Amino acid sequence: MLCRALIQEDPFNVQVETQRIRDVSNKMGGIVTFLGVVRDFNEREDVQSLYLEHYPGMTESQIENIAYAAGKRWNVLGITVIHRIGLLSPSDEIVFVGVGSKHRGDAFLACEYVIDYLKTEAAFWKKEGTINGGRWLSTRETDFEAANRWKQD
């Protein structure tokens, strides 16, 4: 299983990233991707910007750990995670999770697993900029519930 974890300010290209996963193996049958988008209504209205901070070094290894845990649990051939940091605007892409596998069922499960754990375990922090100033977000209860589902086995 090939894992690629990137944290960057620049945008990413979903076409390039999915083809890169496709080319990992000639056994590739399907690629499932999740693309997170900055919404303009996170916890309150009038979000004008989103600032993202991470813990250099730790965040990357947390993402790799999550990806390898997914690779142990399901039959996957390649996982790419790209998370943007810095200043973003509504409708910007913020996170890409791509999982390629021989059979699509594994790719769907592994992709959702990775994004669910990434949301609750990886060291990123979001600050919304609104017309009334900035505010650090708190973790959503629904994200904890999403991650906890994977423990019920």
Partner 1 sequence: MIRVLLFSSLREELNSSSVEVPALGISRISCLVEKLERLYGKSWGRVLKGENTLVAVNQTVVHDNHHIGDGDEVAFFPPVTGG
136 touches which of its own copies, partner 1, none (CB within 5 to 8 A by kind)? partner 1
Q: Which two tokens stand for residue 99?
A: 């999982």
Inter-CA distances, 31 with 45, 56, 60, 71, 140, Å: 34, 28, 22, 14, 28
Per-residue contact string for residues 81-120; x = within reach of its own copies by CB under 8 A: ---------xx-x--------xxxx-xx--xx--x-----
10 touches which of partner 1, its own copies, none (CB within 5 to 8 A by kind)? none
- Is 113 near partner 1 (CB under 8 A)? no
Distance, CA of 112 to CA of 84 (rounded, Å): 18
Which of 73, 120, 129, 150 touches partner 1 by CB under 8 A? Answer: 120
Question: Nearest 5 degrees, angle CA 116-CA 122-CA 128?
Answer: 90
- Is 150 near its own copies (CB under 8 A)? no
As measured in angstroms, the least distance from the Cβ of 30 to partner 1 is 9
Residue 70's SS3 state is helix
Residues in contact with its own copies by the rule CB under 8 A: 13-16, 18, 22-23, 26-37, 39-41, 90-91, 93, 102-105, 107-108, 111-112, 115, 142, 146
